[in-house]
Amino acid sequence: MKEKGRGGPSNLVKKHCSVKKDAQENMSSFSELPTVKADAAFTLLAAYKTDTNQNKVDLCPGFYRDENGRPWILSSVIQAKERVHADPKVNHEHLPLAGHAELLRQSKELVFRKEDRDLKRVASIQTVSGTGANHLAALFLSTELNPKTVWFPNLGWINHTEIWKLAGSHVQQKFYPYFNGENQNIDFDAMVEVLQEAQKGDVVVLHACAHNPTGVDLSKEQWDTLATVCKNIGLFPVFDLAYQGLASGDIGQDASAIISFFDRGDLEFAVAQSYSKIFGLYGERIGMLHIAALDVTAAAKITPVLIQLSRAEITSCPSYGARIISQILGDLSLYDQWLEDLATMNNRMKTMRESLYHSLLVKRVRGSWDHILTDTGMFSMTGLSTTQVTAVREKHHIYMLPSGRISVTGLTTHNVDHVVAALEDILGTY
């Protein structure tokens, strides 16, 4: 007699379920993750490193390079490192939760200047460089201020939108006009007009100086007008300060917009401060987040919240770079040497701007180039389309961002003629 159920439907179902279960068990839990677009700047940097052409030129990253195209260690940093290494009291314990205590004070004074300002109404915390400061600001503001929208300049730093997308995903992102590519200047009237659409409590991201990627900054009068706009609407500004001392060459002038907003006494805002560029300490990841409140009581309430957020992410910040910078800011001779180092970087960038500009004019390369001499900081826009940027890279091995932004620190006396010849080939002449 045939055994009941043997080979029947119930066993087939069991077998099918077993196969399906095995397939599921062999499938990764992350197989449905979306494809993330590669970072444009670092992808190009990697491509540049593998390029074997002897005439290759890297005009992509915002890193200072010397006349030989190599990383430069500031003289003030070399001396400060020697002092840190010689100090027998230095150990490898972590910093307090708020960061290096002395550097916190020094950083406030560097941004807001000493004079008679009441810096007790500024809440500060050390961060993982300027990116970490921007991220912590986004995390803090998106939860505590709960803005409906965050406004970014068009054009602007490509990482700002990514930071807010992750730290404040519920906050809508919009752009305000900033750069007029045809005239190579700021479209300020359009900027103010669009910001009138903002609502009270919205966040607006601003570049304090050496605007990235355009190199074009607001005038004092424009900053004053913008401060009034922020006050009237109730906007909360976030200043990105990555190039203090590398825009005008004067650390006070480069922070003047922030100081002006602070001295009004009727605005609250944040400052994301980076020490990477101005000390050449890119890998040490030292930065600060400052929140300027209307009064001391409010500032005192902000600090513990920032510490709580930071504690949950990193506990404490890197100490080595913080000790180096604190040595420099706290010693008159090292501080003076640092100012000389800033002058060295500024003078070389100015020289390369002039060399590029004059070579373009001599070759009569098609385009508008006067802005190269008036732009500030490391960057300028070339006006090249994405297609032309690709052509320059593939044909001449010159690397720049898809937007057409160049970093003048990548120019040297050895390669500027090659760059101009490539632009002449792609753009043509008059």
Active site residue ranges = 157, 240, 277
Rounded distance, CA 12 to CA 87, Å?
76
> How is 298-349 classified by DSSP, letter by letter?
HHHHHHHHHHHHHHHHTSS--SHHHHHHHHHHH-HHHHHHHHHHHHHHHHHH
CA distances from 44 to 7, 390, 398, 417 (A): 61, 11, 10, 22
194 contacts 162 by C-beta, under 8 angstroms: no
User: Which residue in the block uniquely carries the two structure tokens 């609407």?
Assistant: 233
CA neighbor of 244 nearest in space, from 329, 181, 307, 331: 329
Q: Are 325 and 288 in contact (CB under 8 A)?
A: no
Chain-centre distance of CA 269, in angstroms?
18
- 180 beta partners: 185
- H helices of 7-73, in order, are 9-25, 40-50
Q: Are 208 and 112 in contact (CB under 8 A)?
A: no
Q: 400 and 60 in contact (C-beta within 8 Å)?
A: yes
Residue type for position 291: I
Residue type, 234: G
CB neighbour list of residue 187: distance below 8 Å, 6 or more residues apart: 177, 178, 179, 180
H-run or E-run covering 420:
helix 416-427
**Separation of alpha carbons 407 and 62, rounded Å:** 6
Residue 154 DSSP SS3: strand
Q: Please enumerate in sequence order all residues whose Cβ is within 8 A of that of 234, keeping only pairs 6 or more positions apart, or say none.
A: 199, 200, 201, 202
Contacts 24+ apart (CB under 8 A), 368-374: 368/183, 368/184, 370/184, 371/184, 371/185, 371/215, 371/216, 374/216
What is the residue whose two structure tokens read 């659409």? 197
